[in-house]
Structure 1
Amino acid sequence: MDLEVRHLRIICAIEEAGSLSRAAAALRLTQPGLSTQLRRIEGMLGGSLFDRTSSGAVPTPFGEVVLTRARAVLPTIDDLLGTAALAARGTGCFRLGSINSPLLGGVIAAIRERHPGGRITSRGQSSPNPLLDDIAQGRLEAAVVGDSPGYELAHRAGMVFEPVVTEPVFVALPAGHRLAAQEQVELADLAGEDWVSPPPDDDRTREYWHGVFLTTGARMRTTHEAEGRLLLELVRSGHAVSLCQATFEEVPGIAVRPIGGDPLWYRHVLAWHQDGPVAAIGPAVVEQARAAYGRAARRSAAYRRWSERTGAGRVGTGRTAERQGRDAPRP
């Protein structure tokens, strides 16, 4: 993981607030989530940035060195980003962001249809919150984001959130796993498993997963932190199981199964600024994003079987699980 501008903002916010709890409130994070982020930043930089005391967080000598440079560089970065944002307006440039989701292709197609001469760029992000910050500050025109029940995205002034679809969360198992032969897996049957999960981030997805898992009377034992190909390899090689999106396509060595009772849900959302260029074509963008989701749903054999068995709706409409998602239990 590389050091990002948002990491510099986090450590400056901690110094300004004087404690992790006050900084977490200002950043709209939980204190455990902020503590996890700080440990990751310190790991990247190679030293402790703050001494945690009963009265707050005080920069270490190493932290003072880092903070001095962070305070010096952030205004220059903000000026650069602000200038770029102003320059991009009115030029037919559409800068898009997306978390891991099957919607981005549909968003690009919708914009390209209506702005054939426009320049479209995109970038991925593991958490929705930095993408929302970028929309608010004019660095992105729109983004594909998402949230979990009970951990919905916080409202931001001037921003439009348009839900696209809510889907169940499935489990990815090694193909030779004892549960892979079943049509669906009960959450309680996974209690003794080793899990591989993405590193904790400020969207609190891991917190949601763990909270739901605790309803079985057991803890979700995350022994590996990974994402992308490394996560898949750990599952494929039989070292762990993982949660995955319902549209995830089975690959050799990995079996995807629904979880009995659908205890976990995820909502895909499109976000844009109400005064930005996407606002005028928002309904069309949402429609094409739903179509992209529908195509992804049809490619997933596990999702098709789940839909047929539960009567959730015709896979391919992009609306397969919307009703169930609204009724999904809160942790």
Structure 2
Amino acid sequence: MELELRHLRIVCAVADAGSITKAANTLGLAQPALTAQLQRIERVLGGVVFERDRTGIRPTPLGELVLARARLLLPAVSGLQAEAARFSNSGGRNGDVPASLTIGSATGHLLGRLLHHLTSDYPGMRVTTQVSWSADELAAMVADGRIDFTIVGVCGEAPPPVQPGLTWRVLGTDPVFVLLPADHRLADARSVPLSDLATEEWGATPGDGCFADCFAAACGRAGFTPSTLYETDVVSCIDMVESGDAVVLCQPTFREMPGVVAVPLDGVPLTWRHLIGWHPSGPAAGLADQVIRLAGLAYVDSIARSPLYSGWLAGRPQYGVAGVDHSPELIVND
């Protein structure tokens, strides 16, 4: 047997976990299988990599050497794979307009209109999509070259997903509204104090980040603790509202439909920023300015389709599309 990259990953996983059992769970292996793998690796290396005692395991001097080399080699190989993927996706012609473009999104109401503008402006380009609830997952896919741009949302002033090397542009900031049944006692209100909903069950679409904590903090400032926050898909959220089982936190661009109404919350206790991210050395990086412009148009389209939100934005230049009343913010992850 020859030493392979997967063997180095195993050694790193065991060292990071501090025990065979924890490492096996992390790697999705049975403990006996991982022990056997580690024994084979030690035979190839010609010595014991880890010492075992009652407190766990620790690297031997040989293990320290292997770990030091592995922690240099594995990121270098991952970087090479990402660069190769970006180069291959560009057809080996960095700087050219790519024949294909993949857009990731965790913000559904912008993706559809962005696709419309992209296919209109670049009719010969093949545009594909990748959707995930996780902004962190999408950022990782941009970093390793699987997608070219991604649109994500973050709560309030939270930073973009932590993924070194990516550049982010703020598309805009929205207030968070609440979706109520059409026959709810507050459905006709121009806006609703969060405290007036203290006895309600709550729902929201899922995602990573701090939104649930920010919601709990906003409720605390309003003088109550929410009984629950169901995280589920959009259809289930609407079903819960229609049935009167919960009120749902929603984006202000929510398209009106029978049986449910979106209502602003007094004082804007929660906000949501829309970001677009890309890798500055990716094959489509030359299109960044155009893609940002088209994403901005998609945002404008989305707002225009919501008379409620369009009216709410009057006199509130700090919300809505960035660059309309102020310059868009550029964020670079080091």
**TM-score normalised by length of structure 2:** 0.69
For residues 301 and 318 of structure 2, the distance between their equivalents in structure 1, rounded to whole angstroms, comes to 12
- What is the one-letter code of the residue matched to 2:109? P
SS at match of 1:139: coil
Q: Which residue of 1 aligns with 2:110?
A: 103
Structure 1 307/175 Cα, relative in aligned 2: closer, same or farther at 3 Å?
same
Residue 80 of structure 1, CA deviation: 9.8
The answer (yes or no) to whether the contact 1:291–1:318 under 8 Å persists in 2 is no
Q: Which of 85, 89, 99 pairs up with 1:92?
A: 99
Structure 1 151/291 Cα, relative in aligned 2: closer, same or farther at 3 Å?
same
Q: Which of 318, 321, 330 pairs up with 1:318?
A: 321
SS at match of 1:221: coil
Cα-to-partner distance string for 1:8-58 (whole Å, 9 max, x where unaligned): xxxx99876438xxxxxxxxxxxxxxxxxxxxxxxxxxxxxx8xxxxxx57
Q: Which residue of 2 aligns with 1:192?
A: 199
For residues 117 and 147 of structure 1, the distance between their equivalents in structure 2, rounded to whole angstroms, comes to 33
Q: Which residue of 2 aligns with 1:18?
A: 17
- What is the one-letter code of the residue matched to 1:93? S
For residues 92 and 233 of structure 1, the distance between their equivalents in structure 2, rounded to whole angstroms, comes to 41
For residues 66 and 299 of structure 1, the distance between their equivalents in structure 2, rounded to whole angstroms, comes to 56
- What is the one-letter code of the residue matched to 2:321? G
For residues 203 and 32 of structure 2, the distance between their equivalents in structure 1, rounded to whole angstroms, comes to 33
Cα-to-partner distance string for 1:172-195 (whole Å, 9 max, x where unaligned): 011111111211111111111111
Q: Which residue of 1 aligns with 2:30?
A: 65
Compare CA radii of gyration and give the structure with the larger one.
Answer: 2
- What is the one-letter code of the residue matched to 2:316? A
- What is the one-letter code of the residue matched to 2:153? G
The answer (yes or no) to whether the contact 2:276–2:292 under 8 Å persists in 1 is yes
Q: Which residue of 2 aligns with 1:217?
A: 223
- What is the one-letter code of the residue matched to 1:18? A
**Pairing 1:94-133 to 2, within 5 Å after superposition:** 94-113=101-120, 115-133=122-140
For residues 182 and 324 of structure 2, the distance between their equivalents in structure 1, rounded to whole angstroms, comes to 26
SS at match of 1:102: helix
Q: Which residue of 1 aligns with 2:172?
A: 165
2:272 pairs with 1:280: no
The answer (yes or no) to whether the contact 1:312–1:320 under 8 Å persists in 2 is no
Across the aligned residues of Structure 1 and Structure 2, the Cα RMSD in angstroms comes to 3.7
Q: Which residue of 2 aligns with 1:178?
A: 185
For residues 205 and 12 of structure 2, the distance between their equivalents in structure 1, rounded to whole angstroms, comes to 25
Residue 140 of structure 1, CA deviation: 0.5
Structure 1 231/67 Cα, relative in aligned 2: closer, same or farther at 3 Å?
farther
Q: Which of 235, 243, 247 pairs up with 1:237?
A: 243
Structure 1 195/118 Cα, relative in aligned 2: closer, same or farther at 3 Å?
same
- What is the one-letter code of the residue matched to 2:241? V
- What is the one-letter code of the residue matched to 1:312? R
* Alignment size in residue pairs: 269
Structure 1 109/160 Cα, relative in aligned 2: closer, same or farther at 3 Å?
farther
Structure 1 63/281 Cα, relative in aligned 2: closer, same or farther at 3 Å?
closer
Structure 1 15/166 Cα, relative in aligned 2: closer, same or farther at 3 Å?
farther
